[in-house]
């Protein structure tokens, strides 16, 4: 059951990435066909998005840690954190990440870094104070799974695609309005209409696919943590405890919230909130863990 969960999540993630690439390619094709632009639109959009993503990739982890008020953990003061991270890193055959602590009573944690050699894990003091040892191991295992699965790298790739879709959609709308205003003919009336409809809908489709991939990676990290610790119940209990905690995480914002193991902004609610959430419902994550 455990390995089936992991394999299914990986297959679905890469299927979504493939659909994402098809969306970008289809958008470029429609724009080029509607306005006889050739391939340069797609090339330019990819180049601009890639440049932005590269700068984020190289220095984004330091920015996120600084924004979160994280400081390097002290081995003497945070012995339990070092013991968990070092033991699980050996079991996962990963370099021990740099460990950071955020002074905040709300229990939460996140991982960042472009690859295992440049990875960091940050936990709040509330997490260290409020979780039992096996629950802490489950959370650290989850963050190590994100590192080992190169989730940060994958999400940078997805960010490039989302940025490309946003740029191309904006250009299509601007070009279409200008063409109609100046009375110029497009490469085909129906194709032009399809291009404009796609320009309106593509950013929403890109966002929904990005969120779907993010949610799949959370499920995958949960499953990998269960595999690593051999204790899925401990992680299920930890997730429920983190979700039930009422202390607000002061350092979190909409930019950093997707990184945390549990959404720190506490956006509970109906189906619409779930659709636009970067995290799966805690009840569903706990249920899947207990099935393992």
Catalytic (active-site) positions:
143
Query: What CA–CA distance (Å, rounded) separates 224 from 231?
Result: 11
Per-residue three-class SS string for the chain: CHHHHHHHHHHHHHHHHHHHHHHHHHHHHHHHHHHCCCCHHHHHHHHHHHHHHHHHHHHHHHHHHHHCCEEECCCCCCHHHHHHHHHHHHHHCCCCCEEEEECCCCCCEEEECCCHHHCEEEEEHHHHHHCCHHHHHHHHHHHHHHHHCCHHHHHHHHHHHHHHHHHHHHHHHHHHHHHHHHCCCCCCHHHHHHHHHHHHHHHHHHHHHHHHHHHHHHHHHHHHHHHHHCCHHHHHHHHHHHHHCCCCCCCCCCCCHHHECCCCCCCCCCHHHHHCCCCCCHHHHHHHHHHC
Kindly compute the dihedral angle of the four CA atoms of residues 68, 71, 77, 80, in this order, to the nearest 10 degrees.
Answer: 60
Beta-strand pair 98-102/120-124: parallel
């Amino acid at each position: 059951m455990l390995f089936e969960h992991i394999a299914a999540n990986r297959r679905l993630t890469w299927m979504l990435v493939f659909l994402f690439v098809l969306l970008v390619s289809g958008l470029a094709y429609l724009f080029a066909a509607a306005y006889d632009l050739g391939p340069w639109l797609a090339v330019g959009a990819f180049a601009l998005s890639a440049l932005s993503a590269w700068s984020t990739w190289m220095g984004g982890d330091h920015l996120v840690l600084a924004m979160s008020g994280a400081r390097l953990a002290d081995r003497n003061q945070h012995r339990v954190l070092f013991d968990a991270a070092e033991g699980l890193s050996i079991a996962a055959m990963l370099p021990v990440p740099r460990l950071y602590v955020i002074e905040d009573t709300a229990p939460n944690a996140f991982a960042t870094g472009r690859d295992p050699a440049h990875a960091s894990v940050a936990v709040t003091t509330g997490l260290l104070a409020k979780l039992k040892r096996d629950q802490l191991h489950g959370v650290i295992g989850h963050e190590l799974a994100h590192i080992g699965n190169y989730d940060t790298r994958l999400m940078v790739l997805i960010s490039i695609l989302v940025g490309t879709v946003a740029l191309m959609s904006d250009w299509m709308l601007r070009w279409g309005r200008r063409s109609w205003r100046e009375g110029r003919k497009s490469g085909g009336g129906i194709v032009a209409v399809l291009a404009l409809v796609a320009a309106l809908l593509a950013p929403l489709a890109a966002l929904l696919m990005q969120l779907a991939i993010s949610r799949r990676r959370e499920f995958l990290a949960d499953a990998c943590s269960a595999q690593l610790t051999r204790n899925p119940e401990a992680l299920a209990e930890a997730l429920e405890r983190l979700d039930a905690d009422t202390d607000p995480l002061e350092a979190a914002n909409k930019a950093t919230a997707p990184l945390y193991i549990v959404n720190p902004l506490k956006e509970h609610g109906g189906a619409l909130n779930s659709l636009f959430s970067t995290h799966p419902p805690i009840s569903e994550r706990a249920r899947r863990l207990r099935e393992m």
